[in-house]
A and B are shown apart, each in its own frame.
Chain A
Amino acid sequence: MTSLLKKDRLETALPDKKPLYSSAEARAEAERCLYCVDAPCIKACPTEIDIPTFIKKIATGNTRGAASTIFDQNLLGYSCARVCPVEVLCVGDCVYNGWGRDPINIGRLQRFATETAVDHPAKNAAPLRTPKPKIGKKVACIGAGPASLAFAGYLALEGFDADVFEKRSVAGGLNTTGIAPYKLQAEDALHEVAWVESFGVQVKTGIEIGKDIKAEDLVRDYEAVFLGVGLGEDTKLGIPGEDGPSLTRDDAKSLGRVLVIGGGNTAIDVARECAGLGAADVAMVYRRSQKEMSGYAHELEGARLEGVRFVENAVPHSFVRDAGGKLVALRVSKAEGGKPIAGTEHDIPCDLVTLAIGQSKLRSLATQFAGVELDAKGCVKADRETGKTGNPKVYAGGDCINGGKEVVNAVADGRNAARDVLAKLSKGS
């Protein structure tokens, strides 16, 4: 394990919010499913998993078949089961909602099927997926996040040599480093990476494009190149006192009063994680009202129930530090319509401030590939259906083309690009 993932990380103590079902629980839940036709839950899934089919298979005890149905559409169904905001996707569209009944817990059933079939296969069970014989063609992926892993995994199963180049020391992308640990622990994300590697995918960490390998060499040497580079560094506030010692990870061991800046899902994840770790007080500071926060309503409600407070209509002004440089408060201005009102500055005492106000775009990476263009927001321009960029050999998917969506969207992009590579191959072009 690399230094990024020390064994004694604080968050490893967080309990799983949606633990693995026992087989009796899974069967009882699966038997509730109506087995709708042309089901709304399928349409709500970015990877269009055939949900009623896999659930019925769980109900009959065909767990391996259930997992296989999931992996047909979503090779990373193992992590998606745990990180998907199912409340706004499949579960949100379950027909039971309209009827006033509890919707089916699709995420937990998917976790049961994938985790059971991958980690606890039945005696003599055939492997869930067996790669076809090598066809002597190779593809490369930049970035080892979910989009690239889906692309590489599907093509490896079709007999391609798939190389994944990752700048960081660990693979898995945000699944490893950016998911709230009460949903998915980094070790579990890496376990999934290892499963994809078992199809023959080669993940090479610590490799930077433009430094260790040239973009043009990749385009020359590989059948296709997939850009799954995600987003860049966390955005900073750019206000006085921002850089200082109390923003390091080590201080988190004695969490006192925590302020989380932002109103999106990452901010909520951080706030809930801090609350779960026993912080004395956690508050989300947002420049507009709680209603206008972009985070999912069910996550906000979860945060509220866990004791997270909301400081609305407040814009950070500066970090207040004592003589030794230790953070003592965040100075904020009252705001109207998200804009600070002059003269309303006041201090909110705190021991830790965390920022969750977005990530920058990796503008210079993608453009090293001839023909690849960025849109006005800095996202890689790619066809929505196939991931094709301006360079016929280069595909892109995931956060680098959509600016930051769910893991399941990234998986769909990687899979769709893989299907386009296969379609091209079968056409002989």
Chain B
Amino acid sequence: MADLSIDFAGIKSPNPFWLASAPPANTGEQVMRAFDAGWGGAVWKTLGDPIVNVSSRFGSVDYDGRKMMGLNNIELITDRPLEVNLAEIRLVKKRYPKHVIIASLMTETKEDWRVLIQKCEDAGVDGLELNFGCPHGMCERGMGSSVGQEPKLLEEITRWTKEFAKTPVLVKLTPNTGDILEPGLAGVAGGADGLSLINTIKSIVGVDLDRLVPVPRVGSGSSNGGYCGPAVKPIALHMVAALARDAGVRIPISGIGGISNWRDAAEFIALGSTSVQVCTAVMHYGYRIVEDMIEGLSNYLDEQGMKSVNELRGRAVPGYREWGDLDLNYKLLAKIDPDKCIGCQLCMTACHDGAHQCIFPGSDAERARPPHAHAHGNAVRPKTYLAGKLAGDRVPWIDEPECVGCNLCQLVCPVPDCIEMVEVPHTGKEETWNDRVAQGRTKQPGGIHD
């Protein structure tokens, strides 16, 4: 079994799975249950001066019967007295000395930061996470994302905290910014020991169409919230990867954003995360999901021949290229397995209306190509066409000369492994757009001035 333990800027954790600073890490009782379930660490619900909350606080996006594809909240930081939180932190650290407790912090003046950090460290936390991310409520008071969106301010406050902190300081970044590198590098410049990202995305999650008020509704009104959950994972992955590959970022990253299972976690780690933080999936299904996360990640590492999760970290980072460095001569073709096809023909309509018009019904041996098709004349069913066991001649066929290898058919196909994207033998020579730029061959026929 692969070793899942990590060292995050000197913070040792039995595994990379941490609860994110959010309702699941609100109290000591919760955090202890989470540790019992297998979580390696918890970033405590943000501490500061207790706030007042509203009702309701959450809204979600459901998709085709699945609940909470995306979650939005307008809840603020802890509403409990600091001393109560600190007493619970002490107790948890005493009972679970090998597990990680990081205090998420949010306050205003330098003196506030000094006192807050000292009290937390006295309670025994393993590290500090500066909440420069929340895009709702607290930002209206000059905290949260209003700091994260101002790199100079972020750097300054980070520097203050580093003056006072004895434990590692993580800066939690907001994605509500044009270029994540700016706040990320500002954190580095301020002396941060690690970066956590992403915090939630500023959002209106929906509108109550009967009352014509956005949700979540508080009486007759609503406010923008912070969006998270599976829907934001791609945005988070991009931002984590952008920081991970930047030469200026030489500190560990704690990946956050829509992580629901070991696969999501493995992707964040492969793009450079050292630990991962989870909130929405726990809010949906409870702490128990960590069992599969631990087991699944461990099995995956074994299968990949990796002895430690540290071997996975950053392995997909070099796979990222600028678009201009992609091989223009690499080609894929869609291939439908006739015996797996159930004949829904979703691929066909997706290709015709949403892609490149190269999939036709099995019953047609020949089809007129649409007039705008790249190649003219009729499309002819390949001689290799086979009717399917389940779908007969409802199995569509691919007009191969027109297939651009875009993947859309495979993405819409409901049957796993029914459509495969097959590599066309390579011409042998890679060529990128940047190669063409270098050779002055960027002009395609049919341009603006032709």
Contact = CB atoms under 8 A, between A and B. Distances in A.
Interface of A: 27-28, 31-32, 34-40, 59, 95-96, 98-99
B361 A95 contact: no
Contacts of A98: 342-343, 389-391
A96 B65 contact: no
Categorize the interface residue count of chain B.
Answer: 10 to 19
B345 A37 contact: yes
Given A31-B65, A40-B343, A59-B64, 14 more contacts: A28-B65, A31-B64, A32-B65, A34-B344, A34-B414, A36-B343, A36-B346, A37-B345, A37-B348, A37-B349, A95-B344, A96-B342, A99-B342, A99-B415
B394 interface: yes
22 contacts: A28-B65, A31-B65, A32-B65, A34-B346, A34-B414, A36-B343, A36-B346, A37-B344, A37-B345, A37-B348, A37-B349, A38-B361, A40-B394, A59-B64, A95-B343, A95-B344, A95-B390, A95-B391, A98-B342, A98-B389, A98-B391, A99-B342
Interface of B: 64-65, 342-346, 348-349, 361, 389-391, 394, 414-415
Contacts of A59: 64
B64 A38 contact: no
Contacts of B344: 34, 36-37, 39, 95
Nearest to B394: A40
Contacts of A37: 344-346, 348-349
A260 to B, nearest CB: 37
Nearest to A29: B65
Contacts of A32: 65
B327 to A, nearest CB: 34
B180 to A, nearest CB: 35
Nearest to A99: B342
Contacts of A35: 346
Contacts of B342: 95-96, 98-99
A34 B64 CA distance: 10
A95 B341 CA distance: 9
A99 B418 CA distance: 12
Q: Is the interface of B mostly helix, strand, loop or mixed?
A: loop
Nearest to B415: A99
Nearest to B363: A38
Contact of B390 (A31, A38, A39, A99): A99
B345 A38 contact: yes
Nearest to B414: A34
Contact of B345 (A27, A28, A36): A36
A403 to B, nearest CB: 30
Nearest to A31: B65
A141 to B, nearest CB: 38
Contacts of A96: 342
Contacts of A40: 343, 394
Interface centre among A27, A37, A39, A99 (most CB of B within 10 A): A37
Contacts of B394: 40
A91 to B, nearest CB: 15
A39 B342 CA distance: 11
A245 B344 CA distance: 56
Give 5 nearest A-B pairs by CB, closest first: A98-B390, A31-B65, A37-B345, A36-B344, A95-B342
Contacts of B389: 98
A305 to B, nearest CB: 28
Nearest to B62: A31
Contacts of A28: 65
Contacts of B64: 31, 59
A99 B414 CA distance: 10
A36 B361 CA distance: 13
Nearest to B361: A38
A35 B349 CA distance: 11
B349 to A, nearest CB: 4
A184 B391 CA distance: 34
Interface centre among A34, A39, A40, A95 (most CB of B within 10 A): A95
A95 B346 CA distance: 12
A238 B220 CA distance: 77
Contacts of B361: 38
Contacts of B415: 99
A40 B361 CA distance: 13
B414 to A, nearest CB: 6
Contacts of B65: 27-28, 31-32
A351 to B, nearest CB: 49
A250 to B, nearest CB: 50
B210 to A, nearest CB: 10
A36 B348 CA distance: 10
Contacts of B348: 37
B119 to A, nearest CB: 49
A95 B390 CA distance: 8
Contacts of B349: 37
A31 B69 CA distance: 15
Contacts of A31: 64-65
Contacts of A38: 345, 361
Contacts of A34: 344, 346, 414
A44 to B, nearest CB: 13
A34 B418 CA distance: 15
B216 to A, nearest CB: 20
Nearest to B390: A98
A337 B65 CA distance: 53
Nearest to A32: B65
A56 to B, nearest CB: 10
Nearest to A52: B344
A98 B388 CA distance: 11
A37 B342 CA distance: 12
A96 B349 CA distance: 19
Contacts of B345: 36-38
Nearest to A98: B390
